[in-house]
Amino acid sequence: MATAATVAPRVRPEGRALRFLRRLKTGDEIARLVALTAASTVVLITLLFVYQLWTQSALTRHKFGWSFLFTQGWDTLNDKYGALAYVFGTATTSILALLIAVPLGVGAAIFLAELAPPRLSDALTFLIELLAAIPSVIIGLIGLFVLAPVLESSVVPLIKHVFGFLPIFQGTFYGFSIFTAGIVLAVMIVPFIISVSREVLLAVPRDLREAALAVGATKWESTWQVVVPFARSGIFGSIFLALARALGETMAVTMVIGNSDFISKSIFAPGYSIAAKLANGFGEATTGSPILSALVELGLVLFALTIVINGAARLLILMTTAKGTK
């Protein structure tokens, strides 16, 4: 006896528009579009910044080319400009600030996260966050009227006595110098290193600490050999975040660096940073003038320098993370 074969009705595939409407009703597509718009806006703003800096600096770029980066001096009467002294001042003060702030910041973060009692750690963390919120102009005033006289009377003579044979520690110190600016920057960036590094250290799983202690490690050995290496990428991130802050700091550096358009071998001599030059130079710039174009190109140089350093930081973090997983 033959049986009739039942044929299932063919279901038409759902169209792309219908699937989009269904996701739209559930809210997934709306959330995706909102997030995409936010991300695209950030990219668009960045591109607009680059476009404006590039177009507004066209006059100087066409006149000086790459020599703008490798010459020093700022002659507004003859329209001759060079960025080397300002790049040197920015890099020197930032490196000096890191040399001071990184040991202090990382050491303080280790103490607050691993060794200090919880109440003391919370109280000190609150004070550190308050330090990060102090306006830069106030720190600049303290550096100008408190730090510079102390350096001139006590610290610099001692450094000259011990390391005076080195060219970077020679010359007359008048208070306004790259050295003063570097210390002021260190005071400003050390709270960022402490806060971020502390949070990264606290995020290390407790199992790692307990495992190290279980095999006989001391508290310090478990901290230095287990916790800190695990949090290494986050600590590097805090350091480069602080470096980005140091590169762009304006007011405090302007008040204590001395504002000299030329490079000196000694860190006790006055200098100039890119941000300080931008703050001081726009008062005499007019629309379409060569000096305005030169200042905008200085801003472009600072922007490029920040991108290069942040890119290097990303690569360093990726390299250290990959090495740690092997």
Query: Could you tell me the maximum CA-CA distance found in the chain, to the nearest angstrom?
Result: 115
What's residue 11's pLDDT? 45
Quote the percentage of the chain above a pLDDT of 90. 20
What's the whole-number mean pLDDT along residues 229-258?
A: 86
Q: Which two tokens stand for residue 249?
A: 């700091």
What's residue 19's pLDDT? 67
Full-model pTM: 0.81
**Beta-carbon count within 10 A of 317 CB:** 17
Indicate the CATH number of 82-325 among 1.10.220.10, 3.40.50.2030, 1.10.3720.10, 3.40.640.10: 1.10.3720.10
Say if residue 25's pLDDT is above 70: no
74-75 and 80-81: which strand pairing? antiparallel
pLDDT in tens, 305-319: 888 877 777 777 676
pLDDT in tens, 71-110: 888 888 888 888 899 999 999 999 999 999 999 999 999 9
- At 183, the amino acid letter reads I
Q: Can you say whether residue 289 is alpha, beta or left, with left for phi > 0 and alpha for psi between -120 and 50 degrees?
A: beta
Distance CA 40, CA 60 (A): 31
Least confident of 92-106, 235-249, 260-274, 304-318: 304-318
Q: Quickly list DSSP for 97-143.
A: HHHHHHHHHHHHHHIIIIIS-HHHHHHHHHHHHHHHTS-HHHHHHHI
Distance CA 299, CA 62 (A): 16
pLDDT in tens, 52-62: 989 988 888 88
Q: Are 210 and 197 in contact (CB under 8 A)?
A: no
Q: Are 223 and 114 in contact (CB under 8 A)?
A: yes
Q: Are 236 and 316 in contact (CB under 8 A)?
A: yes
Q: Cα angle at 257 between 253 and 258, to 5 degrees?
A: 135
Element containing residue 74 per DSSP (H, E): strand 74-75
pLDDT in tens, 134-169: 888 899 999 989 999 999 888 999 998 888 888 888
Distance CA 268, CA 270 (A): 7
- At 138, the amino acid letter reads I
* 3-state SS, residue 81: strand
- 259 half-sphere exposure, CB direction, 13 A CA radius: 14
Q: Cα angle at 316 between 315 and 321, to 5 degrees?
A: 100
Q: Are 295 and 284 in contact (CB under 8 A)?
A: no
Distance CA 26, CA 24 (A): 5
